[in-house]
Structure 1
């Protein structure tokens, strides 16, 4: 019996990641475009300033170095955001709100479990990661990371660049941005994030015989369109791919985006 359980766990650990589809949670699909509310993301920005570093094109997080007071500050930021009704914000404020909340909760999860080698080790016994775990309560509604990404951000904004904005604490993931998203800087951050990722080997690696793409483009093919539409998207940031029509393979590194010191 024990051997069977170990075999089951072993098989599960190498199972293919099944990406959720974009399915709108209608409750959150409203905004107040006359709102003058300015959401304060300074606590999150302070965490990024102190613990996120750029190294060889990657942004790495110094999880090991985060102080107890900063861990409390991060949790305080998440509580602050959870007390806001995002439906009362403008659409531009909402996008920044949801992206920052997703990324802050992800970092908080890693800090609570640290040391850990990969976010995929979190969650229940038969879970591949923590994305379906209820993380915050907003307007008395329990919300998971998958809710934020796949039921709010993707279906409401329908912008494939969202995949470059939310970060899953993994080396294969598009970089966690050094700046907190705001209503003002979102477009610039999305463009910078897309360009950086597509021009990195973890995003797009070109050889004579093939293009190796991040598995993000396979998991979320519905957001990037047909192969020709995907190539057009990539070529916008990497012109050498304009006429690419060769073999495409996919890869992803779930190792923690950690900087030891």
Structure 2
């Protein structure tokens, strides 16, 4: 298997060859993969490193803004949207960096405009209007809103051929992490993600617990009481201020 450094090196050589030309779909997935592998460390983002050289980020955002996605398969569209969301979140942070939290930026999710495949929208529009339309609750564990309360950001690009495996992997990672799902006696404290998007996981506590246990290495007992802990909006910075 190729090492991480070698993969990044090959991707960078590819970028030097194609960088001056319009990016195509395959190059987008490859270059976004190189971007995340370079700038993500154990789920946190190296914002300072990105700020020092934004060229690749800007090129990826340019592709996202103008991509032709109508001919893409459903899997390819969802992979595209997930990467687009995470890239635009990072782009917003870099605009204002150094900053201590995404919520310190006015209208971060509901007012600041982004462009996705020719359409102008907000991050909330992208999440609720495009991504949630696929009706796959696992997306809540791969969309990362630049906060420590979010699931960890993956150090790879979501791709059409690997998407189902990647969604499974990241969902399992989150739901087995003691800082994301906190057990206290007969009670489990959940991320407020499960409160905000409750309908995506099931209307009742039993349905929610069933979803969680689908991905748990050690399933929670059926009598487990569920509650929520306060979301941590601190920036997910690999080198915090």
Range into which the TM-score falls when normalised by the shorter chain: 0.7 to 0.9
Q: Name which of 112, 128, 140 aligns with 2:95.
A: 112
Counterparts in 2 of 1:74-85, with a 5 A limit? 74-85=57-68
CA distance in structure 2 between the aligned counterparts of 1:228 and 1:84, rounded to whole angstroms: 41
Q: Which residue number corresponds to residue 223 of structure 1?
A: 200
Gaps of 5+ in 1: 1-36
Give yes or no for contact 1:43–1:74 (8 Å, CA) kept in 2.
no
Q: 4+ runs of 1 displaced by more than 6 Å?
A: none
Give yes or no for contact 1:202–1:213 (8 Å, CA) kept in 2.
no
Indicate yes or no: 2:234 matched with 1:259. no
Q: Which residue number corresponds to residue 150 of structure 1?
A: 128
CA distance in structure 1 between the aligned counterparts of 2:131 and 2:179, rounded to whole angstroms: 23
CA distance in structure 2 between the aligned counterparts of 1:183 and 1:234, rounded to whole angstroms: 25
Give yes or no for contact 2:33–2:157 (8 Å, CA) kept in 1.
yes
Give yes or no for contact 2:34–2:156 (8 Å, CA) kept in 1.
no
Between the two proteins, the alignment pairs up a number of residues equal to 215
CA distance in structure 2 between the aligned counterparts of 1:101 and 1:183, rounded to whole angstroms: 14
Q: Name which of 34, 37, 40 aligns with 1:46.
A: 34
Q: Which residue number corresponds to residue 216 of structure 2?
A: 238
Gaps of 5+ in 2: 1-24
CA distance in structure 1 between the aligned counterparts of 2:152 and 2:110, rounded to whole angstroms: 18
CA distance in structure 2 between the aligned counterparts of 1:60 and 1:164, rounded to whole angstroms: 14
Deviations 1:171-193 (A, max 9, x none): 11011111101101111111111
CA distance in structure 1 between the aligned counterparts of 2:105 and 2:70, rounded to whole angstroms: 30
Q: Which residue number corresponds to residue 95 of structure 1?
A: 78
Following TM superposition, by how much is the alpha carbon of 1:137 offset from its aligned partner in structure 2, in angstroms?
5.1
Q: Which residue number corresponds to residue 154 of structure 2?
A: 177
Q: Name which of 38, 60, 73 aligns with 2:44.
A: 60
Give yes or no for contact 2:100–2:235 (8 Å, CA) kept in 1.
yes
Following TM superposition, by how much is the alpha carbon of 1:118 offset from its aligned partner in structure 2, in angstroms?
0.7
